[in-house]
Amino acid sequence: MTDPQSTKEEPPLALLISSTALAVMLALLAMLGPFSIDTYLPAFPAIQQSLNATAIEMQQTLTVYMFSFAVMILWHGALSDSFGRRKIILVSLAIFAAATAGCAVSDSIEHLWLFRMLQGISAGAGVVIGRAIIRDLYEGAAAARLLSLVTMIFSIAPAIAPIIGGWIVKHLDWRAIFITLFIYAVLLLVYCWRRLPESLPVTRRQAFNPSMLYRNYRNVFSSLSFHLIGGTVAFNFSGMFLYVAAAPVFLVEHLGLGPDQFGWQFIPTVAGIFCGALTANRLSGRIPLTRQISIGFTLLIGAALFNVGYHLFFPPRLPWSVAPLFFYTFGMSVVAPVATLLVLDLFPTIRGIVASCQSFTQTLLGAVVAGAIAPCLSHSAVALALGQLAFTLTALALWNGRRLTLQRGPGL
């Protein structure tokens, strides 16, 4: 997992900001995604009543965000490969802030759809470009450790977001949720404007022209290795995101909780992400990558099987209905850093585009989960558990399938 070209020229960012400060900044950027999703989930009933919307129309505010996020995430990396990492991040933050202000003043469900779409278009820049920045500066175990550190810090967001959203909607108004997100985006824009230098020198940028972009995207999406390794991350993530998308039904109807009690699901979920990322950080460079992946999948499949077994014989109940999520996301975070770096190193000269393509496949699958799979399965705790098990078994099959490509070259 090394790139000879990366040692020829030291990007200025490595000299201007410490690895810890960089991890904090990239984590704050990545938090825009979970803040945009998890913060307003407890407010679904309040927004639905305020805008005279149906339950399906409210669900589509999440679906339209996910689809626009997935489509635009294809371009964040390509744009940053051509115009630089810093510029694209700053522009995206400005668009996100404006879109969030629009959500706060929406007076119809259609207007909320529109501004949620704009949020989705801009929110993914930090996730994609952050991965590219890490790989611009670091290699191998150092890159995996930094990526794990970003995940550890980032994991705070999904834990506190629904709690904050539930508290706001209970004591203030659902519009205050988007006002809070607007303030966060503006402060982050100022912070990045002052502290984020450029990690990709002009001499290492790719020309922005249609034929070259088409060729690069075609090479990535025609790579069997890309789909096998990237799909491993995407399907594991979907097993977790299934419960995020189903949270308003799973927590309120199955577990009988209120809008300010969403922490029952999200705290163990995020604690697993944090502990898994911490473990991955400690394991990087100390054990073989294949062994780290095996440890992660043992936790993933064990948690999913327990989840199915419990709900087959017992009704949904705290803490047993949410406890498996800790071990599932723990395993997910052990697997993800290794698989992500392997994907980025398939095409070392266009890592921004590769990061975009990986995020696109993951987010597109998440959009399908939010728009179709979660609504179909959320009627039953057993169905949700079986859906999670199916996702992680698919991820395991894809990871095992990568062995077929090991002798066929990195671009296959």
**Is the Cα dihedral 108, 111, 117, 121 positive or negative?**
negative
pLDDT reported for residue 384: 94
pLDDT reported for residue 24: 84
Q: How far apart are CA 109 and CA 383, in angstroms?
A: 30
Q: How far apart are CA 367 and CA 61, in angstroms?
A: 11
pLDDT reported for residue 10: 42
pTM of the model: 0.71
Per DSSP, 38 falls in state: H
pLDDT reported for residue 5: 41
Helix (H) or strand (E) holding 131: helix 125-137
Residue burial 57-88, b: 16+ Cβ < 10 Å; e: rest? bbbbbbbbbbbbbbbbbbbbbbbbbbbbbbeb
pLDDT reported for residue 1: 41
CA distances from 333 to 133, 254, 270, 299, 320 (A): 20, 27, 10, 10, 21
pLDDT reported for residue 387: 95
User: How many residues in total does the chain contain?
Assistant: 412
Other Cβ atoms less than 10 A from the Cβ of 412: the count is 15
Q: How far apart are CA 123 and CA 31, in angstroms?
A: 9
pLDDT reported for residue 16: 54
Average pLDDT for runs of 10 along the chain of length 412: 41 55 84 85 87 85 85 82 86 94 92 93 84 75 74 74 84 90 94 82 74 85 90 92 86 82 82 85 77 92 95 92 94 88 82 80 83 87 95 94 62 44
pLDDT reported for residue 66: 82
Domain ranges of the chain: 14-402
Q: Are 131 and 350 in contact (CB under 8 A)?
A: no
CA distances from 187 to 133, 219, 375 (A): 21, 38, 35
pLDDT reported for residue 216: 85
CATH tag for 14-402 (out of 1.20.1250.20, 3.40.50.1360, 3.40.50.620, 2.10.10.90) = 1.20.1250.20
